Structure 1
């Protein structure tokens, strides 16, 4: 039988717009809280949503699967509509049991819920007995589907809520209506046998749907907070212009981005039948529980006292978030599943993400090449070098140059392979997994391809492609770090040349053949960034002085002084005084891939750490059984998954021909700080022995963990500090005032 194609992204977007518009008309925000207290109103909304076909989701994959169910759940959370449409949809999806068209079904998992207070129920001789808690909208439902234990094993029992022996009792939670206790005393029912594994899957799906609903609630409150920050004044200024508010909201934007992407990916993995969909789902639920509550709290902080009033819309969303992320075991259950996966009896790595047919095939091709060209004594000799010497290997770069992979994403007219972003990710991933040194000059090559002259392209691009040239980036100065518009290094025209004078600091690739140097060519330009120009400067040009410093992480950077350095006018990249445009475009592209590169570094280190933990003891017991270790590893796994999904999202946008400026900034911020958190967490797990540096007796994992922590600080600062990126997200992404 030919499998029916799944709904497209365009169809899912249409579904979201349709549900949002319907709820705006039939469940308006002004009456949402009051109506939620009225069973008749809830019943009417339930019937209207069923009339839109939403309770039929999950019954036919071609019409909608888990991704569509999560979209509806998120929109219901956004509208503060309590109707649990996801219950019957998940029963359609997981149990393949379609209820009557006019029934309103709620789901209770009882003893299979993972929440110890959820109660339980038993089935025997056609009747159900039990006590159940946390049942949504039981006062408006016609039927209850409850997981029961029977003499023959687990089953789903179907109960008419009007049947004798059913007791329904309201159980307000967090000061809001909607949850009930249900008592069952010899209630007549029909039961369909199932398995404990199937009920566990149903629980996972239900938890994921509630995390999506919580995301909708948090997202709506966040949207309102952003709007409020743009109109509320304090001290004569819009509060959205205060850096503290901007950065708080930027962090919330990043958190919501991670929540949405991980949930959507988990749903996709389920819909396509991926074996690891449960791991992706556990990561999404763990992340939602740990981040959405923080978003809800900080949204309230932004509103201040006005958001504390029940007349305001924000409190309903605060409550919804907290209620939903705790259900079905919350973070605890999700973290247990993640810990079992990564620290179980059988070694398991991070689930591979699908890079598409070409990306997946190329991943294997790169892996095979590295096994043939970067193993054995060659790699061992490289690893015996000091860290500062390991960053680059000229022989390896030239060997890689013979493959043409340095030009993976270059257009073919420049000798490149015109491969997509996912193939580039495959390359980065395998290079990181093999701990191979970097090669090429991707940012400089991109600049030359877009802004270089034909003569520059003909001269410089082949050198880069062959692995024969490496470039530094001369941007930062003593008084112009992230604020590049304030740079003072000057280039003054002198006939057919420019004469450059100034100083650049924190230059890491000072030992390369060339420096891509940013200079000021118009000191009177307004605004200041309008007077910048870029030059390709050979590092053997007279007048260049390099003074090196050892970095905290064992590498090196340099202060580079330019004294009366003469370069030909044709060395300028881009137009005169047009350097800012070149810089901004290149940095946006670099951040898009640098976030992915950082998270892949963390992912590789995470797998090494898990491998160590599986074989280590702590106080005479297996370290992998320690509760704290398991919790911290699970939390890291969820955060890494969020970073990987941001990476994938940026790659999708690049492949679509877009420049993901704000999303790339978010990926860079998140991944850089994740690298810091990983290092700190790893040291908590390993203790003092984890601080022993490479070469020290007893050093764990060759000292990589502590060295990575020291190195992580660079990624938070370089390519524009994370504080600058937060400002960019707030002002250009969220539209907050400057």
Structure 2
């Protein structure tokens, strides 16, 4: 039975209180004293996780995050972890109870060591011998002022000793500053609490998550400061935050920090909710933090320039905290190996852990899976997979079958024939469609556009065709001189009575073979600003005057140059008022971007699972590939990166569920996922060698050439729907508030 834990609102109140407490302290480095510890206790921070009402790992993470922001070295996490262990429930000794009471009151302060259980062999050793605890421990924080030490010994057991006689501490400065100690112990225990090996390993993972949360808080605080600095610091007559190089550097940092934030929060929540895969999620969070936070810390200092070198500035404190924090419990090696083991050391259908999408989302996932087992399996699916990539892109028979379910209108309002399902049901649908390899269906951008800006007549005519899987649309946006700068498009639409006459050229047009084209045109060539003169039309592709010149893409599909020569389109096909096309177009793209990153990362996740399935039985030079240390390291690191992308996908779904679609958050997911697809392809080729370059239908092609084909396809996702460079500028300007 799950414990009754604090609510999100309770956690928000706690976070605001902790941040307010630290804000009242000096803006210089916080010095831990007995008086400060009592003040922290008065705030209730030494009681975190002491009972279900006092929270769990999520509350410890929250406090650690704020301690990291304030550069506070107090052992708050150690106190929280001791509370989380519930030692009094395992040993009812009066001495242990008195210690816990003093800890909560601020009269006792403890430092925790896992000793030989730590992943880092340099952390020290400890054992009970002759009635005493004998130990030599490294990397102990605040050892000069703590009143007690809590140390794990073989058995295993947690041993608590008082500092004083028999305990000596030798300073061991780290990264040029004091605060860390080597401790030697030969003293009688105050109390001994039994544990199991599994429990100690779990607690070590929990401790690492808490320490990474403090490192994240430090990195986030320094990043916020450098963003503010970039908006104020002027060079060459303007703020440096206006320079694209700075904007994109800081956008990259923001993306990396979002990955860490989301994976740590999820790991803590999964632990508190006692979810079965919480250890997997914790490993993913630890691997993500270890690879991302130090990179962000370095980039932050690059943007600060020389000002960040000064010890009078906060940045050096945060730089140290980041590096110490992510390495304190062993860094990236152990969690990466844990992730690799999940995918390479098990038999059967090994996948990423499924998310709990709520009752409706989980039930709908099962429903979609059952439908696909009936309608997209066996010979039907095998026949489709033997086709070339271009032929697999769309299947009209499947689209109509899916249309009969109503799921193409999954999130549409009921007045348009939709089902008004939530974002998590939409996510469940996307997951199952991608995992089954089913072809795409529907026209989500065009449907959203028609629902918001279409006339009643347009809605009655076009929406049922989309809903039933009977029509698909292309998007006629880009032109030879108007790609990312879409406001400069030149295709003209001139009113002629009840029609518009369209002349111009569109390039890189996919789905040109559909029933309709959603076409962006210019109706006012003199409009200022230029985007004010754009108007959108639905153009049937059978209309006279349309000339299509297909071109094969490097990823095996096709797009086309489409020429419009005196094409007459009824005025009733205009979407929105004349000149309102920019609003119509950008609103539709924002809708698409809200889930585009999720769609990409699901493709990568599925291909990664197939790659691992191949590696589990493959050999290189007579040895199993899965035993190769390099293979395991790359697989584990990739698993962590994909998990971060999945968390961004869920984060976007949470926002959509609240009725929000912040363009900068959608851009974060799109940028991360598109470039993840590229990285995946390159790493897979490194692991598999030249055989992985063999294309579909080539003898000996690994996974029928899917990996190299995905690498070629990945370039499109980085460029299309707004290049990643444009998306980084959007993140910097709208998300971070840097000057335009």
Query: What TM-score comes out, normalization by structure 2 length?
Result: 0.97
Residue pair 2:233, 2:239 contacting (<8 A) in 1 also: yes
| Matched ranges for 1:412-427 at <5 A | 412-427=414-429
* Structure 2 residue 51 is the aligned partner of structure 1 residue 52: no
Residue 111 (structure 1) aligned to one of 111, 116, 124 = 116
* Structure 2 residue 192 is the aligned partner of structure 1 residue 191: yes
- Which residue of the partner structure matches residue 131 of structure 1? 136
- Which residue of the partner structure matches residue 93 of structure 2? none
Q: Matches of 2:66 and 2:189 in 1, distance apart? A: 36
User: SS of the counterpart of 1:472?
Assistant: strand
Q: Matches of 1:4 and 1:128 in 2, distance apart? A: 35
How far residue 535 of structure 1 moved from its aligned partner, in angstroms, is: 0.5
- Which residue of the partner structure matches residue 324 of structure 1? 325
Q: Matches of 1:464 and 1:22 in 2, distance apart? A: 56
Q: Matches of 1:473 and 1:406 in 2, distance apart? A: 18
How far residue 275 of structure 1 moved from its aligned partner, in angstroms, is: 0.7
Select between 703-712 and 100-109 the one with higher mean Cα deviation.
Answer: 100-109
Residue pair 1:553, 1:707 contacting (<8 A) in 2 also: yes
Residue pair 1:126, 1:189 contacting (<8 A) in 2 also: no
- Which residue of the partner structure matches residue 83 of structure 2? 92
Select between 180-189 and 191-200 the one with higher mean Cα deviation.
Answer: 180-189
- Which residue of the partner structure matches residue 502 of structure 1? 504
Residue pair 1:121, 1:131 contacting (<8 A) in 2 also: yes
* Structure 2 residue 549 is the aligned partner of structure 1 residue 552: no
How far residue 329 of structure 1 moved from its aligned partner, in angstroms, is: 1.0
How far residue 43 of structure 1 moved from its aligned partner, in angstroms, is: 2.6
Select between 256-265 and 330-339 the one with higher mean Cα deviation.
Answer: 330-339
| Matched ranges for 1:595-634 at <5 A | 595-634=597-636
Q: Matches of 1:270 and 1:4 in 2, distance apart? A: 11
- Which residue of the partner structure matches residue 7 of structure 1? 6
- Which residue of the partner structure matches residue 225 of structure 2? 224
Select between 626-635 and 97-106 the one with higher mean Cα deviation.
Answer: 97-106
Q: Matches of 1:247 and 1:42 in 2, distance apart? A: 41
User: SS of the counterpart of 2:144?
Assistant: helix
| Matched ranges for 1:661-700 at <5 A | 661-700=663-702
How far residue 80 of structure 1 moved from its aligned partner, in angstroms, is: 0.4
How far residue 317 of structure 1 moved from its aligned partner, in angstroms, is: 0.6
| Matched ranges for 1:705-716 at <5 A | 705-716=707-718
Q: Matches of 1:680 and 1:9 in 2, distance apart? A: 40
Residue pair 2:2, 2:273 contacting (<8 A) in 1 also: no
| Matched ranges for 1:273-422 at <5 A | 273-347=274-348, 348-422=350-424
Q: Matches of 2:210 and 2:396 in 1, distance apart? A: 51
Residue pair 1:122, 1:148 contacting (<8 A) in 2 also: yes
| CA deviation vs aligned residue, 1:496-544 (integer Å, no higher than 9, x gap) | 1111111111111100000000111111111111111110000111111
| CA deviation vs aligned residue, 1:116-144 (integer Å, no higher than 9, x gap) | 11001001343100100001111121111
How far residue 660 of structure 1 moved from its aligned partner, in angstroms, is: 2.2
Residue 64 (structure 1) aligned to one of 52, 55, 62 = 55
Q: Matches of 1:84 and 1:587 in 2, distance apart? A: 48
Residue pair 1:502, 1:561 contacting (<8 A) in 2 also: yes
How far residue 186 of structure 1 moved from its aligned partner, in angstroms, is: 4.2
- Which residue of the partner structure matches residue 91 of structure 2? none
Residue pair 2:6, 2:54 contacting (<8 A) in 1 also: yes
User: SS of the counterpart of 2:13?
Assistant: helix
Residue pair 1:548, 1:557 contacting (<8 A) in 2 also: yes
Residue pair 2:133, 2:189 contacting (<8 A) in 1 also: yes
- Which residue of the partner structure matches residue 458 of structure 1? 460
Residue pair 2:159, 2:189 contacting (<8 A) in 1 also: no
Q: Matches of 2:446 and 2:584 in 1, distance apart? A: 10
> Which runs of no fewer than 5 residues in structure 1 stay unpaired?
none
Select between 118-127 and 355-364 the one with higher mean Cα deviation.
Answer: 118-127
User: SS of the counterpart of 2:24?
Assistant: helix
How far residue 96 of structure 1 moved from its aligned partner, in angstroms, is: 4.0
| Matched ranges for 1:559-598 at <5 A | 559-598=561-600
How far residue 661 of structure 1 moved from its aligned partner, in angstroms, is: 1.0
Residue 472 (structure 2) aligned to one of 470, 473, 479 = 470
| CA deviation vs aligned residue, 1:415-474 (integer Å, no higher than 9, x gap) | 000001111111111111110000000010001001111000000000000000000111
Q: Matches of 2:686 and 2:417 in 1, distance apart? A: 48
Q: Matches of 1:76 and 1:170 in 2, distance apart? A: 22
User: SS of the counterpart of 2:424?
Assistant: helix
Q: 1:235/1:604 Cα in 2 relative to 1: closer, same or farther (>3 Å)?
A: same
Q: Matches of 2:632 and 2:317 in 1, distance apart? A: 34
Q: Matches of 1:176 and 1:518 in 2, distance apart? A: 60
| CA deviation vs aligned residue, 1:354-393 (integer Å, no higher than 9, x gap) | 1111101111110111110011221122122211111000
| CA deviation vs aligned residue, 1:40-97 (integer Å, no higher than 9, x gap) | x433222211111111111222331111110110110011011121111112113444
- Which residue of the partner structure matches residue 725 of structure 2? 723
Q: Matches of 1:618 and 1:385 in 2, distance apart? A: 30
Residue pair 2:267, 2:278 contacting (<8 A) in 1 also: yes
- Which residue of the partner structure matches residue 148 of structure 2? 143
Q: Matches of 2:661 and 2:191 in 1, distance apart? A: 56
Q: Matches of 1:327 and 1:16 in 2, distance apart? A: 24
Q: Matches of 2:85 and 2:280 in 1, distance apart? A: 17
Q: Matches of 1:133 and 1:346 in 2, distance apart? A: 39
How far residue 191 of structure 1 moved from its aligned partner, in angstroms, is: 1.3
Q: Matches of 2:187 and 2:495 in 1, distance apart? A: 94
| CA deviation vs aligned residue, 1:587-629 (integer Å, no higher than 9, x gap) | 1111111100000000100110111111111222211111101
How far residue 187 of structure 1 moved from its aligned partner, in angstroms, is: 3.9
Residue pair 1:137, 1:178 contacting (<8 A) in 2 also: yes
User: SS of the counterpart of 1:144?
Assistant: strand
Residue pair 1:451, 1:574 contacting (<8 A) in 2 also: yes
| CA deviation vs aligned residue, 1:309-341 (integer Å, no higher than 9, x gap) | 111111111111001001111101111111121
User: SS of the counterpart of 1:689?
Assistant: helix
User: SS of the counterpart of 1:140?
Assistant: coil
* Structure 2 residue 13 is the aligned partner of structure 1 residue 22: no
How far residue 240 of structure 1 moved from its aligned partner, in angstroms, is: 0.5
How far residue 569 of structure 1 moved from its aligned partner, in angstroms, is: 1.0
Residue pair 1:547, 1:558 contacting (<8 A) in 2 also: yes
- Which residue of the partner structure matches residue 252 of structure 1? 253
| CA deviation vs aligned residue, 1:566-587 (integer Å, no higher than 9, x gap) | 1111111112111111112211
Q: Matches of 2:498 and 2:679 in 1, distance apart? A: 51
Q: Matches of 2:179 and 2:590 in 1, distance apart? A: 46
User: SS of the counterpart of 1:21?
Assistant: helix
Q: Matches of 2:371 and 2:156 in 1, distance apart? A: 51
User: SS of the counterpart of 1:117?
Assistant: helix
Q: Matches of 1:45 and 1:698 in 2, distance apart? A: 67
Select between 117-126 and 669-678 the one with higher mean Cα deviation.
Answer: 117-126
Q: Matches of 1:453 and 1:670 in 2, distance apart? A: 37
How many residues are matched?
725
Residue pair 1:588, 1:665 contacting (<8 A) in 2 also: no
Q: Matches of 1:13 and 1:586 in 2, distance apart? A: 33
